[in-house]
């Protein structure tokens, strides 16, 4: 399978090519050309090249056991360049290791450099990452914050099965960066698995919003919006009646907060307990 490129009069570019590392440069240069035509500034083009590389290398390294297609689509939209990168592999698999390679998507870097990032599992299979990079590097991050959470990493993920694997990897990364002990890292992963255990019908929207903010030796995670009462039902599911305890005891602080969008579960995890 060779590279196939198609564009139209509206500035949309589509690329389909084998998921090989040498082809990532083709994607990067092609989209940099589109960005220049859209008058994206130099710093923003550098950000674009970085996030495109991260997303495409995820497909190359993790999407397939053997070679498969890498599909990339890009178009200008509302002062940004939108880029969708997708594969048809078996999907994201959760891993507990805190090293960067376990994050796979380079999600923290993509989120930091993009105006928004959304992950989804299309019905045809695989994973789709949709990123928007502002044409001006001074106009980043228009994601709405979850209540009570300071500005930090914010991600939108299709509600449902993707939330758990994504959240556990991101939490593992932050715990490792905060120099958590092995036991405290395990606590953090257990908590992330617990708060992401909702089914699709638990969410008020079809998109879950995750926000994470760092402090010295700790970080705060917020997840939602859930339907009315969803936060309290989640807290109930965290209880372990057999031993008369609850997983919420692993958190330094845990609360359910509500706004007009629904319930948000917010927890703080400190390095030392």
- The span from the CA of 65 to the CA of 150, in Å, is 40
79 and 159, same domain (yes or no)? no
The residue from 97, 117, 142 where one domain ends is: 142
Please count the structural domains in the chain: 2
Q: Is residue 150 part of a domain?
A: no
Burial pattern 223-254, b for ≥16 Cβ within 10 A else e, equals bbbbbeebbeebbeebeeeeeeebbbebbeeb
Q: Which domain holds residue 252?
A: 155-273
Per-residue pLDDT of the chain (273 residues; tens, 9 = 90+): 555 544 444 457 888 888 988 889 889 888 888 888 788 999 899 989 999 998 998 888 888 877 789 999 999 888 899 999 999 887 554 333 434 343 344 777 787 788 888 888 888 888 899 999 999 866 544 444 455 543 466 677 777 776 787 787 778 878 888 889 989 989 998 888 888 887 778 888 887 888 888 888 899 999 899 998 888 888 888 887 666 677 888 889 999 998 888 999 999 999 875
pLDDT at 66: 75
Report the CATH number that the domain containing residue 194 is assigned in CATH. Answer: 3.30.565.10
Q: Is residue 244 part of a domain?
A: yes
120 and 180, same domain (yes or no)? no
247 and 181, same domain (yes or no)? yes
252 alpha carbon, distance to own chain's centre: 24
19 and 123, same domain (yes or no)? yes
Question: 199: buried, middle or exposed (CB in 10 Å: 19+, 13-18, 0-12)?
Answer: exposed
For residue 109, the surrounding DSSP H or E stretch is: helix 107-113
């Amino acid at each position: 399978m060779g590279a196939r490129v198609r564009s139209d009069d509206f500035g949309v570019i589509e690329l389909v090519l084998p998921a090989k590392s040498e082809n990532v440069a083709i994607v990067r240069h092609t989209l940099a050309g589109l960005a220049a035509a859209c008058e994206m500034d130099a710093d923003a083009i550098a950000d674009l090249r970085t996030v495109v590389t991260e997303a495409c290398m995820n497909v190359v390294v993790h999407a397939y056991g053997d070679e498969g297609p890498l599909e990339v689509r890009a178009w200008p939209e509302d002062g940004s360049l939108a880029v969708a990168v997708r594969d048809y592999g078996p999907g994201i698999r959760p891993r507990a290791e805190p090293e960067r390679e376990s994050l796979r998507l380079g999600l923290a870097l993509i989120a930091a450099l993009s105006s928004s990032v959304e992950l989804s599992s299309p019905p045809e299979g695989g994973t789709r990452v949709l990123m928007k990079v502002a044409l001006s590097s001074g106009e980043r991050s228009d994601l709405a914050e979850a209540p009570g959470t300071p500005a930090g990493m914010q991600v939108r993920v299709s509600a449902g099965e993707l939330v758990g694997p994504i959240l556990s990897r991101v939490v593992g990364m932050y715990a490792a960066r905060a120099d958590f002990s092995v036991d405290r890292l395990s606590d953090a992963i257990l908590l992330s698995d617990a708060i992401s255990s909702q089914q699709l019908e638990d969410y008020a929207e079809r998109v879950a919003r995750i926000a994470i903010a760092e402090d010295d030796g700790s970080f705060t995670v917020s997840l939602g919006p859930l339907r009315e009462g969803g936060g309290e039902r989640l807290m109930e599911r965290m209880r372990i009646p057999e031993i008369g305890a609850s997983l919420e005891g692993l958190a330094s602080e845990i609360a359910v907060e509500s706004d007009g969008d629904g319930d948000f579960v917010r927890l703080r995890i400190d390095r030392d307990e």
